[in-house]
Amino acid sequence: MKLWGGMFEKETEESVHRFARSLQYDVRLYPYDIRASRCHAEALREAGVLDDAECASIVRALQDIERELDADNFMFLASDEDIHSAVERSLTERLGPLGGKLRAARSRNDQVAADLRLFLKDDCLAVGRLIVGMNEALLVVAEACPESPMPGYTHMQPAQPVLFSHHLMAYFEMFKRDLERFLQARSRLDVCPLGSGSLAGVTYGLDRQKMAEELGFGAVSANSMDAVGDRDFVAEVLFAASITAVHLSRLSEEIILWSTAEFGFIKLDDAYSTGSSIMPQKRNPDVAELVRAKSSRLCGHLSSVLGMMKGL
């Protein structure tokens, strides 16, 4: 009975660890975690917590870790709960007690908040570039058929004649607003939370303004409790992504309808359609169908984040 109890406790501990582990998701934050860690090391040097040699050793070790991660040569352990603990564990293994000194004046709370903000700043720009590319493609198609008429529909019934180019430019306007939303969300999340600690700030004399400037943040957080608890910016980015996904879903639905034999407005290129296993003459709009289906995921993620924020 005692042996069984010990085995049960071990299995329970392992199950809890697997449940709490987020490494498979947050590993993509590693460039930002290392970048913020280097900045924190420099701030600790200026605050007198690290001397020049110690700071240089930590920065070199962080650079080595980043190179290994870039090359997919970094050795993760089963005990690594997230990317932050994995980097910290590796740093301590390389430098001994010196690696642990990087924890001074920093909590996992402000560390994660900073990493996530840096990641989303880049992500908003990356998505923005994709939206610009989408609108450029819409312009190319609209300009190629400026006089092509088509029926405009209300209630899925033919209503008034419109130009196909005019219809496409309606989506141009939607995606233009989507781009604005991403850029606006980015401007509001451009705030550095480092120096907030777990919730009440830190007692070391960190130059928070300099840290923000070195990391490319436009401002420093004004309240430590808000800085570590704020996830408004995540919800804002997800909202912008959800609206964009809805617009993509609308366009995909129209492409699906327009390409049917009943409508016959467009013919999809082979690159964006597939045949049938028993009817090779078919041109199935699989890409548009997948876009329409996957768009709902973002709406679900937004709902989950809002629910989590409400429960804090």
Q: What is the pLDDT of residue 272?
A: 87
> Measured between alpha carbons, how far is residue 306 from residues 112, 134, 188, 219, 302 in Å?
19, 29, 18, 25, 6
HSE, CB side, 13 Å, CA atoms: give it for residue 139.
9
DSSP per position, 201-267: --SS---HHHHHHHHT-SEE-S-HHHHHH--HHHHHHHHHHHHHHHHHHHHHHHHHHHTSTTT----
From the candidates 15, 79, 187, 276, which is the catalytic residue?
276
Question: In the annotation, is 167 catalytic?
Answer: no
The CA-to-CA distance between both ends of the chain, in Å, stands at: 40
Rounded-to-integer distance, Cα 181 and Cα 244, Å: 9
Q: What pLDDT, on the 0 to 100 scale, is given for residue 3?
A: 46
pLDDT at 1: 38
Note if 276 is an active site residue: yes
Digit-coded pLDDT (tens) for 251-292: 999 999 999 999 999 999 988 888 888 888 888 999 999 999
DSSP 105-140: T--HHHHHHHHHHHHHHHHHHHHHHHHHHHHHHHHH
The pLDDT profile of the chain, 312 residues, written as one tens digit per residue, is: 344 455 555 666 677 768 889 999 999 999 999 999 999 999 999 999 999 999 999 999 999 999 999 999 999 999 999 999 999 999 999 999 999 999 999 999 999 999 999 999 999 999 999 999 999 999 999 999 999 999 999 999 999 999 999 999 999 999 999 999 999 999 999 999 999 999 999 999 999 999 999 999 999 999 999 999 999 999 999 999 999 999 999 999 999 999 999 999 999 998 888 888 888 888 899 999 999 999 999 999 999 999 988 865
